[in-house]
Amino acid sequence: MTNLRTLVCVCVVILAAMTVTAQRPEPSGMVKTADGILLVWNQPDNYFTLEIKGKLIEPLQQNALWFKVDGKFFQLVMAGKSDFKAPSKPDDRSYLEAHAKWESDYLSGLMQRKLDIKTSPTKLSNGADALTWSYEMPRLSDKQTVSKQLYITTVKRNHVFGINVPVEPGDDETRLWQMITDAINTLKPSDKPLSLEAASKQVKGT
């Protein structure tokens, strides 16, 4: 009887360990590619991959969605559709316009300046609606170098996803627009968590 009890206990421990392992969430992370990195993002109800191209890509410690790409600040922007007031028309373009207003209103409050945003609808390479928008950066300090902020956004299932870069002296604005447009065109949403190991193998072609 003692041996039977011991066997049962051992089986319970093994099953518990297997359950914990099976339920362990897939981590987010980055995979090195030939042209930069592949970001693998795993958050509840928010799974995707995005390729960021550049010779030198540095994640910034302040935020997992902030990077320096060849010396340029590069920010991923995400908001749940439920975070802001839903538009009267529930189509993607209306959500993108509503998000741009919500985000710019928030930034106006932070900077205590009214921002005059310029928006323009566009399409991604897969035909999805997108929105480019920008604003002239108010002068907040004598040391400020940023003169303008550029954004491109698209709807990703229950979220609005976007990329933001600042314009500084010597920057080619056309090149910056192309940089963030190229990046957002690589966005691949998923309805389930993504494996870093599988992404690494796919990148390596193994």
Q: What CATH class is the domain 2-204?
A: alpha beta
pLDDT at res. 4: 44
Per residue in 158-204, pLDDT tens? Answer: 999 999 999 999 999 999 999 999 999 999 999 999 999 888 887 87
- Confidence grade of residue 15 (pLDDT, cut at 50, 70, 90): very low
- Has residue 20 got a pLDDT over 80? no
Give the mean pLDDT of 96-100.
Answer: 98
Which region, left, alpha or beta, applies to residue 36 given φ > 0 means left and ψ of -120 to 50 means alpha? Answer: left
Per residue in 123-155, pLDDT tens? Answer: 999 999 999 999 999 999 999 999 999 999 999
Give the DSSP letter string of 14-77: HHHHHHHHHHPPPPPEEEE-SSEEEEEEEETTEEEEEEEE-SSEEE-TT-TTEEEETTEEEEEE
Alpha-carbon distance 11 to 16, whole Å? 9
pLDDT at res. 203: 84
Q: How many CA atoms lie within 13 A of 56 on its CB side?
A: 5
Per-domain residue ranges of the chain:
2-204
Per residue in 40-97, pLDDT tens? Answer: 999 999 999 999 999 999 999 999 999 999 999 999 999 999 999 999 999 999 999 9
Alpha-carbon distance 130 to 136, whole Å? 21
Q: Show the tokens assigned to 168.
A: 């500084």
pTM confidence score: 0.86
The set of residues, in sequence order, having a beta carbon less than 8 Å from that of 5 and lying 6+ positions away, is none
SS3 198: helix
- Confidence grade of residue 156 (pLDDT, cut at 50, 70, 90): very high
